[in-house]
Amino acid sequence: MVVRIKFLIAIGLAVICFVAQAEKAETKWIEGTHYFQITPPVHASRPPSETKIVEFFWYGCGHCFDFEPALGVWKKNINPEIQFDQIPAVFDRKWAPHARAFYTAKKLGVLGSIHPKLFNALHVRKEKIYTEKQIGAFFVAHGVDKDVFDEVYHSFEIDVSVRKAMSLTRASGIGGVPSMIVNGQIQDKRTEHGII
């Protein structure tokens, strides 16, 4: 546990250093190295003065789980001109239950609590939470009424959100998660410059 805490602290400090370095240095992004163009571009509605950043993730992805602490540190210090959003990637129907879980938690106003707990349950405690029944039991164990969960999880609104996430996943051309899209361009998560 102590080693994990030290690791998370080291990641957090590294992200802060990378962000500070990126702000100081005039970074030149190279197409094909740091990002590639999406054709046709994924259009995001945003004011011209804002930067729109979208993270595609999946709860079942170990890399997304490892990326989450660094992303959390970055989000705490985010520039107000940056609009950030997370979209659960849906490459196929097997990923849809986790996307439903994300949008259900968001609709119920418990995303801030459920999001890290679901990641931890899957990757630290190695719990099997992949089916509707398992996800429902997880929500109930964390204070959500079963009938309320069932109603929202199966609602038309959540259906639409999951279909949109699937469409955006395909349109973006990403090959895996976590993936960051900045103003319609995919940022290679392996870049030496960190998140931005």
Judge whether residue 189 has pLDDT over 60: no
User: What are the two backbone dihedrals, phi and then psi, of residue 105, each rounded to the nearest 5 degrees?
Assistant: -60, -40
Judge whether residue 48 has pLDDT over 90: no
How many CB atoms neighbour CB 56 within 10 A? Answer: 24
3-state secondary structure of 118: helix
Place of tokens 């992949």: 130
SS (H, E, C) 165-186: HHHHHHHHCCCCCCEEEECCEE
Closest CA to 181 of 189, 193, 192: 189
Q: Per mean pLDDT, which of 4-13, 67-76, 129-138 is the most reliable? A: 129-138
Whole-number pLDDT of residue 183: 87
3-state secondary structure of 103: helix
Tens digits of residue pLDDT in 140-182: 999 999 999 999 999 999 999 999 999 999 999 899 999 999 8
Whole-number pLDDT of residue 31: 74
Whole-number pLDDT of residue 124: 98
Whole-number pLDDT of residue 13: 45
Q: Of 28 and 90, which is predicted with more confidence?
A: 90
In terms of DSSP H, where are the helices of 25-155? 62-76, 96-108, 111-123, 132-141, 146-153
Q: Is the pTM of this model over 0.75?
A: no
**11: confidence class by pLDDT, cuts 50, 70, 90:** low
Q: Would you kindly state where each structural domain of the chain is located, as residue ranges?
A: 2-187
Mean pLDDT, residues 87-104: 97
Amino acid of residue 144: V
Q: Are 123 and 65 in contact (CB under 8 A)?
A: yes
Cβ neighbours of residue 16 under 8 Å, at least 6 residues apart? 73, 77
Mean pLDDT, residues 36-61: 74
CA 27/CA 112 separation, integer angstroms: 33
What superfamily in CATH does domain 2-187 come from?
Answer: Glutaredoxin (3.40.30.10)
Judge whether residue 194 has pLDDT over 70: no
Q: Per mean pLDDT, which of 5-14, 41-50, 118-127, 187-196 is the most reliable? A: 118-127
CB burial string 132-148: b at 16+ within 10 A, e below: eeebbebbeeeebeeee
